């Protein structure tokens, strides 16, 4: 080699891989495939964890909404409220004792 030129490292590595035998080349490909598998598995795991967190947040939001709806239902179905609405909006009143009819099931 002359003083002014530097050796081409990539060329020497490629030459060694192709001339020494197929074993180093196969090992290199297997190492690369294994590394890519780790990258893809890590990526999918992180995506799954993110999806799980989003689903848990949605479940918590729906649970809170369900609790609020239960409270609203209980408040709207109170007997005193229903009776007041019947008197005010529908002009209903309790029947007189002589107009009441008792129905018995036999």
Domain limits, the chain: 9-92
Tell me the whole-structure pTM to 2 decimals.
0.54
pLDDT tens, position by position, 39-67: 999 999 999 999 999 999 999 999 999 99
* 76-99 average pLDDT score: 83
Q: Quick one: pLDDT band at residue 82, thresholds 50, 70, 90? A: confident
Tokens of residue 23, six digits: 């074993």
Percent of the chain surpassing pLDDT 90? 41
Residues ≥6 apart with Cβ < 8 Å to 93 = 87
Q: What is the pLDDT of residue 2?
A: 54
The answer to whether residues 11 and 19 touch, using CB atoms and an 8 Å cutoff, is no
- In angstroms, the CA 93 to CA 87 distance is 6
- With tokens 């690369």, the residue in question is 32
């Amino acid at each position: 080699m002359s003083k002014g030129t530097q050796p081409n490292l990539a060329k020497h590595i490629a030459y060694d891989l192709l001339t020494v035998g197929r074993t180093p080349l196969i090992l290199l490909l297997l190492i690369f495939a294994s590394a890519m598998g780790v990258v893809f598995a890590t990526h999918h795991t992180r995506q799954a964890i993110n999806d799980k967190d989003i689903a848990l947040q949605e479940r918590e939001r729906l649970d809170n909404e369900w609790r609020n709806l239960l409270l609203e239902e209980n408040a709207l179905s109170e007997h005193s409220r229903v009776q007041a609405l019947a008197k005010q909006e529908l002009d209903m009143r309790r029947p007189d004792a002589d107009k009441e009819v008792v129905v018995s099931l036999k």
